[in-house]
Amino acid sequence: MRSLLILLPLAGLILLNLPGGLLAGLALPAVAALAIFEIVLAVYLPTAAFPALEQVQQLLHLSTPLDSLARVLLLSIGIVMLASLLVLHATVKAQRRRFNVANVLLISLMGMNGVVLVHDLFSLYVFLEVTSVASFVLIASSGEDTGLEGAFKYLVLSAVATVLMLSGVAMMFLFAGSTDFSAVAAALQNNSGQLLLKIAIGTFGCGLLIKGGLVPFHGWLPDAYQSAPAAISVLLAGVVTKVSGIYALFRLGISVVGLQTFSPVLLAVGALSMVVGALLALRQNSLKRLLAYSSVSQVGYIVLGLGCAGMGGPAGKLGLAAAIFHLFNHTIFKTLLFVNSAALEQRTGTSDMSVMGGLGSRMPITSTSSAIAALSIAGIPPLSGFWSKLLLIIALWQAGLYAYASLAVFVSVLTLAYMLTVQRRVFFGKCREDLLSAREASGGIVLVEAALALVIIGVGVLMPYVMNSFLLPLKGGF
Amino acid sequence: MSAIMMWAPILIPLAGGLLVLPMRGKSGLREIVALLATLANLVVAIANFNSVGTWTGQWVGHGLDIVLLNYQFSAFILAAAASFALLVCLFCFRFMREKTSANQFFAYMLISLAMVDGAVLADHLVTLLFFWEGLLITLMGMIAIGRPGAFKTAVKAFVIVGISDLCLMFGMAMAGLASGTLVMSKMHLPVTDAFNALAFVLMMIGAIAKAGSMPFHSWIPDAAVDAPLPFMAILPASLEKLAGIYLLSRISLDLFQLTPESWLSPLLMIIGAVTILLAVMMALIQKDYKKLLSYHAISQVGYMVLGIGTALPVGIIGGIFHMINHAMYKSCLFLTGGAVEKQAGTTDLAKLGGLARKMPITFACFFVAACSISGVPPFNGFFSKELLYDAALDRHFIFYIAALGGSFLTAASFLKLGHAAYFGKRSSEHDNVREAPITMLLPMLVIAAACIFFGVHNSWPLRNLIQPVLGARLEGHDFAGWPHSMRLVWLTVAVLAGAIMNHIAGATVYGSGINAVDHIHYAPLLKPIYEQAERRAFDPYEIMLDVAAFIARGAWSVDRAIDWVYNRLAVGAAMLGSTFLKLLHTGDYALYVAWALAGAAIVVWYMVS
Amino acid sequence: MNNPNWPIFAIFGLGVVLTLGVGFYCVMVTRNLIRALIGLEVLTKAVTLLLVLCGYVAGRMALAQTLAITLIVVEVAVMVVAVSLFLGIFRRTGSIRSTDIQNLKG
């Protein structure tokens, strides 16, 4: 079943590009259908096995069962892909470009699914590259100067990440004789203390940190997010960074290396990202750049949770659960925020906040959902962000990492500050004269905004249910 | 007793109030519903009269339950409250007809009745507190719908009664802690140690403040002017006294064992005596019908507190009897004031005059009620006051002097009021004043008749309603019939005669009824005190507001300092950091690669070492 | 260490490290975008060499070959995209200097 997640996009690619353009019109719906299929699969993973698919799964090394982390990510990928599609539909009207973007989205989807599903290091690398290449093309798809610039910088840093990762893989391969997760894990167990292996873990980890956009490896991220077209920013911020960088880190930590070895690194990098990201977000004029730095900051939280998980014990388990929960929450609210910026761009033609003002009365749904996302990201009860941040801080405190816990609280305040600045500059107050003609965004975007806002509120308010059915199994699952 | 019958006195008026609330406009439906609700309440109260029952319901656990108890005392209070509510409701038919907020008034009145019924029936401290506090909201509401500008008085009432409720809450917590239970009928604490005594004092404050004793009284005269008049007749005059003195009695008799030896008894008596005198002195100089009556309401509470404070059977019986008597004659007095206001258009004594001929029935009721409040035999006030004199004298003659002096001044002020409003020259503006309509007269007549009945045939209320409250503590006394000490009776009569003579003298000297007591008003020592009092210099509420404003100014300066630290330091630092970091991001990918490599180097170095 | 060929491996490894160094230096120092891409290519080749070396030392040449070929293919794809991005930049701005693509900053 799981292999379908990779095979179906591939099949879709082939079918869509049949000569004669027979099925070309089905591009967007096809992607949408796949995204929905993915969501459904993530939630209701069926256990039935199909023999033919079994073979393919063996080939792709997908035979190990899915764990909850992978399912969370599959769900996120499905949701964000759907959101991105709706934004694409609303913002890009040219058929040709839509078709092209849809195709590349299929490649991206395939790549991300692959990253989530594989069980060996090299396949991980391959699918990461597939995703990255698709991202480069997508960022540049608008054809603007800035898009090309952003894509180029992303490419350069991604290549550096590749080099670092592969150096690590090679050295691990040296000791393990294979790149499979379990083989490498065994080799690391047997040969712990080897210099080369330590270097290998370090470089592989750094490669992933570059992909994830953590400080000081984040140079490409603001430029890429800012310059990408609206729909692609949504996709990038929502899942690409997370899947490539953060999920891979989780995998590395959980299944291969063991989190204890590099948890101090994760803690330090996480804390640094939180602070630097939040500080930089304070004085941005471009909404998308601000949201990009906000992503850096929030991913810092996630990595901080992961680092806490490496400290072991019940606090560690809580930290891991909190990190995964925050991963999901951040996907939702960052996607929502970027969809809002897409709505603003659609109606005002810019994402420069200094020329915006008082749009709350003109764009009520955008304004409200933005407020909800802002409150959630700042950690205001009873929204979802509050719970994940609270769990994280509790886990840090219980693990004895008091300084990090206090830092997390302090950065929450900064987060609230810059998000409120956004709200004030863009939505509150009297409407500017030149913006009086702005209307609410088009239907598809509004639908996404409303749905995501409801998810934020729902997860927040229904927290006890979420806790029982979602988090506690995660805690126990590792 | 079934649960329905226990809850009916609370639920019926509550339902009535909620039904009436949306009925705006001139419909008669609202009045019918209110009347039916109060009538049904009275029927239920009478039906419950002789049965004893309890009802317990779990609420949040941990001993916080809802417990109701219906026994002689509470049944009696319920019936009394129901009767007053019915009569005032009848009165309001015509009185509130032109007022726009009549629907709110009826609603608040009915809900207040429900709350009072609940408070009286409550046997658990938390249940009591719930209903007690519920009265706060309706109190505020009823005042706020009066004259424009009444909201300030409503807030004042809310704050004063709210603070006393807070004391009640603390007292309840302490009492519950000391006795280990929150069920009132199970508590019987001695007041010998300081903790219990403090609990008693706090709960006592809650009770007497609701009744309107000093120093929690200052909202009542303001409300008399600002609120609609039937509010005065139903709440401060009757319901609040009933509830307040009921609670005070329960505190002294059941929850705590108040004995004459304890220091709390003189405390209560002093509060009572001071209230009597100070309030009646303020009443004396008033030139407005309603304000004068309101000060008397405060003063009469002093008698009740004094009586219960004596902790002697005769005093307690006297206090409770005085409570029901006062409810009767004070509400009758307020209703006459309402009739005057409606028919003559004003309650300013300077403008009124000669109404006795134009409104004879009103005058007759006024006469009966005024004689009752002054303690003229054979009306009901006389008998309850005699019991109180007896008790006061038993404790210490100074309290007796205070009570007697209060009676003198009470009589004097009512002579003044009667003279100014009903006798004397008619003002030409009021030539066409007619008698009040029947729906307003009927309640007054019923209450006046009851005053006479409770006086002449006082064995009925004493033996059936009030003496069973004390039960065994009565020690076999029976206070029905004529007071046993004729000496006290002669002293009372002498005082009344003195008051009459004083009035005649004053009226002759100063020329009119209204100025009859000017010799007291402008007496050398009293004149400046009166002037200050009129300017609210002694009003505890005003003093408290001044203190609060002073503290607020100080707090604001501290806040400014904290604000500066936050604004300059914290925000400035964050902005500085942000600008610096922004400068670092030059847009050059090579720099970013350098950062990444440097970071990787550091990580690897860390991993290796 | 017990393999008699270890000096060769050491030299090989040193060569890999040197190549990596050259590649990084090239990427970081040059102002010419084409040269930066060439630098990236050099880096990729260095890593391929490392992979081959490790495969040989581990005795898994077949797997190492597979990995190396896959790697080359993937990097070709990346390079194609890179050069097309470069072409786009060149056509847009007429310049191949890295200083001319510093519009996004702060």
Residue A131 contacts C, CB cutoff 8 Å: no
Q: Which residues of A touch C81 (CB under 8 A)?
A: 133, 136-137, 155
pLDDT in tens, A302-351: 999 999 988 877 888 888 888 988 999 999 999 999 999 999 998 888 88
- Provide the domain count of chain B: 2
Radius of gyration of chain B (CA): 30
CB atoms A227 and C104 under 8 Å? yes
Q: How far is B534 from chain A (nearest CA, A)?
A: 49
Is residue B275 a part of any domain in this protein? no
d(CA B280, CA B57): 45
Domain count, chain A: 1
Same domain, B567 and B491: no
At A107, give phi and psi (nearest 5°). -60, -45
| pLDDT for A48 beyond 60 | no
Q: B with C: how many residue pairs have Cβ under 8 Å apart?
A: 28
Q: Which residue of B has its CA nearest to C20?
A: B597
- The H or E element containing residue B39 is helix B29-47
| Count of positions (residues) in chain B | 609
The three-point CA angle A390-A391-A393 to 5° equals 65
Q: What local confidence, expressed as pLDDT, does residue C43 receive? A: 95
The H or E element containing residue B374 is: helix B360-374
- Nearest by CB: B606 against A152, A222, A265: A265
Question: In 3D, which of B287, B124, B123, B112 has the Cα closest to residue B210?
Answer: B112
- Taking CA atoms, C66 is separated from A115, A433, C50, in Å, by 19, 63, 14
Three-state DSSP state, B266:
helix
Q: How far is C5 from chain A (nearest CA, A)?
A: 15
Where is B103: in which H helix or E strand?
Answer: helix B102-121
> Per the domain annotation, does A373 fall within a domain?
yes
B212, B214, B220, B221 alpha-carbon torsion, rounded to 10° = 140
Q: Is C101 on the interface with A (CB under 8 A)?
A: yes
Q: 3-class SS at B97?
A: coil
Supply the pLDDT for residue A317.
82
Q: How many CB pairs under 8 A join A and C?
A: 114
Chosen from A280, A289, A290, A407 to mutate, greatest number of chain B CBs within 10 A = A280
Q: Which domain holds residue A312?
A: 261-478
Of A164, A202, A276, the CB nearest to B581: A276
Three-state helix/strand/coil letters over chain A? CCCHHHHHHHHHHHHHCCCCCCCHHHHHHHHHHHHHHHHHHHHCCCCCCCHHHHHHHHHCCCCCCCCHHHHHHHHHHHHHHHHHHHHHHHHCCCHHHHHHHHHHHHHHHHHHHHHHHCCEHHHHHHHHHHHHHHHHHHHHCCCCHHHHHHHHHHHHHHHHHHHHHHHHHHHHHHHHCCCEHHHHHHHHHHCCCCHHHHHHHHHHHHHHHHHHCCCCCCCHHHHHHHHCCHHHHHHHHHHHHHHHHHHHHHHHHHHHHCHHHHHHHHHHHHHHHHHHHHHHHHCCCEHHHHHHHHHHHHHHHHHHHHHHHCCCHHHHHHHHHHHHHHHHHHHHHHHHHHHHHHHHHHHHCCCEHHHCCCCCCCCHHHHHHHHHHHHHHHCCCCCHHHHHHHHHHHHHHHCCCHHHHHHHHHHHHHHHHHHHHHHHHHCCCCCCHHHCCCCCCCHHHHHHHHHHHHHHHHHHHCHHHHHHHHHHHHHHCC
Q: Which of A160, A195, A276 sits opposite B593 (nearest CB)?
A: A160
Q: Do C28 and B588 touch (CB under 8 A)?
A: no
Quick check: C9 contacting A, CB < 8 Å?
A: no
Look at A280 and B585 and tell me if their CB atoms are within 8 Å: yes
Enumerate the β-bridge partners of residue B348. B288
Nearest to C106 among B582, B588, B590 (CB): B582
Put simply, whether C39 touches A (Cβ < 8 Å) is: no
In terms of Cα–Cα distance, which of B429, B291, B448 is closest to B362?
Answer: B448
**Chain B residue whose CA is closest to A196:** B608
Q: Is the dihedral of CA C60, C64, C67, C69 positive or negative?
A: negative
Q: According to the CATH classification, is domain C6-94 in 1.10.287.3510? A: yes
Mutate to test the interface with A, among C47, C87, C91, C102 (most CBs of A within 10 A): C47
Report yes or no: C97 at the A interface, CB cutoff 8 Å. Answer: no
Question: What is the enclosing helix (H) or strand (E) of B58?
Answer: strand B53-61
Identity of the amino acid at A86: L
Given the DSSP bridges, would you call strands B53-61 and B189-190 parallel, antiparallel or unpaired? unpaired
Phi-psi region of A280 (alpha: psi -120 to 50; beta: other; left: phi over 0): alpha
Q: Nearest chain C residue to A154 by CA: give it.
A: C82
Q: Please check whether residue B146 lies inside any domain of the structure.
A: no
Residue A200 covered by a domain = no
In this prediction, residue B39 carries a pLDDT of: 86
Q: At what angle do helices B360-374 and B397-422 cross, to 10 degrees?
A: 170
Identify whether residues B353 and B399 lie together within a single domain. Answer: yes
Amino acid at A98: R
Q: Looking at the complex, does the CB of residue C78 fall below 8 Å from at least one CB of chain A?
A: yes
* Number of helices (H), then strands (E), in chain B: 26, 4
Q: Residue B603 in contact with residue A265, Cβ under 8 Å?
A: yes
pLDDT in tens, B166-215: 899 988 888 888 888 778 777 788 777 888 888 888 888 888 888 888 88
Residue where a domain terminates, one of B538, B572, B590: B538
Tell me the sheet residues that pair with B189: B256
Q: Tell me if A272 is assigned to some domain.
A: yes
Counting every residue written for chain A, the total comes to: 478
- CB-nearest partner of A153 from B574, B582, B592: B592
For the segment A368-376, the average pLDDT, to the nearest whole number, is 92
Strand-pairing partners, residue B61, are B64
**Sign of dihedral through CA atoms A425, A430, A435, A440?**
positive
Give CA–CA dist A223/A289, Å, rounded. 7
Sign of the Cα torsion B438, B443, B446, B447 reads: negative
The pLDDT value recorded for residue B566 is 79
| Cβ distance of A174 and C57 shorter than 8 Å | yes
SS3 label, residue B70 = strand
Kindly state whether C86 is in contact with chain B, defined as any CB-CB distance less than 8 angstroms: no
Predicted local confidence at residue B429, as pLDDT: 62
- If asked whether residues B411 and B502 sit together in one domain, one would say yes
A contact chains, 3+ CB pairs < 8 A: B, C
**Beta-carbon separation of C102 and B597 below 8 A:** no
| Nearest in space to A265 (alpha carbons), one of B357, B604, C10 | B604
Residue B21: strand, helix, or coil: coil
- In this structure, is residue A127 part of a structural domain? no
C29 at the B interface (CB within 8 A)? Answer: yes
How far, in Å, CA of A362 to CA of A348, rounded?
11
A203 within domain boundaries: no
- The answer to whether A137 faces chain C, any CB pair under 8 Å, is yes
CB pairs under 8 A between A and B: 86
In chain A, which residues have their Cβ closer than 8 Å to the Cβ of C64?
173
Q: How far is A451 from chain C (nearest CA, A)?
A: 32
Asked if residue A187 is part of any domain, the answer here is: no
What is the pLDDT at residue A178?
84
Q: Which residues of A touch B592 (CB under 8 A)?
A: 153, 156-157, 218-220
Per CB-CB distance under 8 Å, the chain A contacts of C51 are 166, 169-170, 173
Residue among B574, B593, B603 minimizing CB distance to A202: B603
Say how far apart CA A260 and CA A253 lie, in whole Å.
8
- % of chain A exceeding 70 in pLDDT: 92
Task: Kindly state whether B582 is in contact with chain C, defined as any CB-CB distance less than 8 angstroms.
Answer: yes
| Both tokens assigned to A397 | 């405190």
Average pLDDT over residues A152-157: 94
B333 lies in which domain range?
299-538
Do B410 and B483 fall within a single domain?
A: yes
Choose the closest CB to A159 out of C43, C70, C101: C43
Query: How far apart (Å, rounded) are the C-alpha atoms in residues A347 and A350?
Result: 8
- Residue B603 to residue A219, Cβ atoms within 8 A: no
Instruction: Examine the predicted complex and report whether its ipTM is higher than 0.85.
Output: yes
Burial of C46 (0-12, 13-18, 19+ CB in 10 A): buried
In degrees and rounded to multiples of 5, residue A352 shows phi and psi of -85, 115
Contact at CB, A199 and B604, closer than 8 angstroms: yes
Residue B243 half-sphere exposure toward CB, CA atoms < 13 A: 31
Q: Of B503, B538, B573, which residue is a domain's last?
A: B538
Confirm whether B66 is domain-assigned. Answer: no
How distant is the Cα of B553 from the closest Cα of chain A, in angstroms? 29
- Measured CA to CA, the distance from residue B87 to residue B338 in angstroms comes to 13
Task: For residue A149, give the nearest of C51, C59, C104 by CB distance.
Answer: C104
Does the distance separating the beta carbons of C102 and B585 come in below 8 Å? no
Q: Quick check: is A13 in a domain?
A: no
Interface membership of B604 toward A (CB under 8 Å): yes
Q: CB-based contact (8 Å) between C27 and chain B?
A: yes
Asked if residue B258 belongs to a domain, the reply is no
Q: Are both B467 and B399 inside the same structural domain?
A: yes
Residues on chain C touching A129 (C-beta within 8 angstroms): 74, 77-78
Among residues B213, B242, B240, B312, which one has the least CA distance to residue B73? B242
Q: For the whole model, what pTM was predicted?
A: 0.63
Domain assignment of residue B439, yes or no:
yes
For residue A478, the model assigns a pLDDT of 46
Q: How confident is the model at residue A112 (pLDDT cuts 50, 70, 90)?
A: very high
DSSP 8-state class, residue C31: -
Residues of chain B with pLDDT under 70: 1, 25-27, 58-64, 425-431, 472, 474-476, 510-517
Beta-sheet pairing, B256-257 with B189-190? parallel
Q: How far apart are CA A133 and CA A141, in angstroms?
A: 12
Residue B397 lies in a domain: yes
User: Tokens at residue B1, please?
Assistant: 């007793």
On whether residue A197 sits in a domain, the answer given is: no
- A194 touching C (Cβ < 8 Å): no
pLDDT of residue C16: 93
**Searching chain B, which residue's CA lies closest to the CA of residue C31?**
B590
